[in-house]
Amino acid sequence: MIPLTDEKRSKDQLKSHIREQNQTLILETSERVFARQGLAKTTTQMIANEAGLPKANIHYYYRSKKDLLEAVLERILRLWLGSVSGFNVEEGPKVNLTRYISEKIDQSRANKNASKVFAMALIGEEDFVLAFLKNLFVTQLSREKQSIQTWVDQGLMKPVPTEHLFLTIWAMTQTYADFDAQVKIMLQKEALEDSDYDDAKQFIIRMVLAGCGITE
């Protein structure tokens, strides 16, 4: 370890502080603009304007637009992973599935822009997102699958095609964030309210529990 002078240390901290602050600003702004404009329509100029920075500054921190998009996606995925509770076998299927669906809806609502950017990248089959999902599915799904098998063995639910169960839960919960324009038209509202999300939650939970043969 090379000892640092106080001067150098504080300079480094300042620099690193500015860097971190700017990067966060750029990533948050990018997420918003990407979600609003679409990935390809978004220009680095738009992001710069909205962030109040010169365009070259964006390229100083993120060499290319692709790098920037991947940084945005990485940040989204890291935050998501940290806030998802896994299944807790002891609590049984009803509690776990109810909580899972409820959290999913809350999360995609709270981070609507992040959810949209992810959906856009997924429908555009961005390599970065596909690679992430490959990883996630291998590590996580096998665990959830075991919990479900345990519950089936205990007679707490009927056997289900686990992959399709998760695919459909994701599809239903994400649609309220990603395609909210469609939801608003359907419900004939200018903006979605708490009660709309509650209704969605309740109905999705009802279908999933019933479909899994979970009565009590």
Q: Catalog residues that contact DNA under the rule CB under 7 A.
A: 15-16, 18-19, 22, 42-45, 53-57, 59-60, 63-66
Do residues 126 and 194 make contact, with C-beta atoms less than 8 angstroms apart? Answer: no
Q: Give the Cα separation of 216 and 209 in Å (integer).
A: 9
> Smallest distance, Å, CB 111 to its own copies?
16
Amino acid of residue 185: I
167 binds its own copies (CB under 8 A): yes
Q: In terms of CB distance, is 60 or 203 closer to its own copies?
A: 203
Amino acid of residue 194: D
**Residue 63 contact among DNA, its own copies, none, beta carbon within 5 to 8 Å by kind:** DNA
* Touching its own copies, residues 40-99 (CB under 8 A): 40-41
Do residues 214 and 157 make contact, with C-beta atoms less than 8 angstroms apart? Answer: yes
CA atoms within 13 A on the CB side of 191: 3
Tally of CB atoms within 10 A around 100: 20
- What is the binding site for its own copies (CB under 8 A)? 38-41, 116, 119-120, 122-125, 130, 133-134, 137, 141, 160-161, 163-168, 170-172, 174-176, 178-179, 181-183, 185-187, 199-200, 203-204, 206-208, 210-211, 213
